[in-house]
Structure 1
Amino acid sequence: MTKKTLRVTQVRSSHGRLESHKACLRGLGLRKPHHCVEVPGTPEILGMIFKVSYLLKVEEI
């Protein structure tokens, strides 16, 4: 099984969001809108991405 790597970009602000959603963004390493990080496609990471998917753009690389 090959490891998937995902490029995650924050496209909307975290201002006014739930604390748990802000914590997911911090856990993914995202700091501000238009910030982009590459993360492994583990089940834990995918769960965080799913929770705040309305704030993100995700690409598989």
Structure 2
Amino acid sequence: MLRALAEPRTTTDLARRTGIGNATASAHAAALRAAGLITTTRTGRSVHHEQTPLGMLVVGTTR
């Protein structure tokens, strides 16, 4: 899940990319957010997730 967020994604996009349901993707995102590995922002009805610097360090992502 964290690797799938190498680029910012919505919950729906994250679910599609990982082959899981939206509710499951949302639950995973909540756990990653609680661990400080991603941030989440809401824009209207869309929820966008992206890796924090710590999340990037964990998976070796660079931007």
- The normalised TM-score by structure 2 is 0.31
Greater RCO structure (CA 8 Å; 6+ sep): 1
Structure with bigger helix share is 2
- The normalised TM-score by structure 1 is 0.32
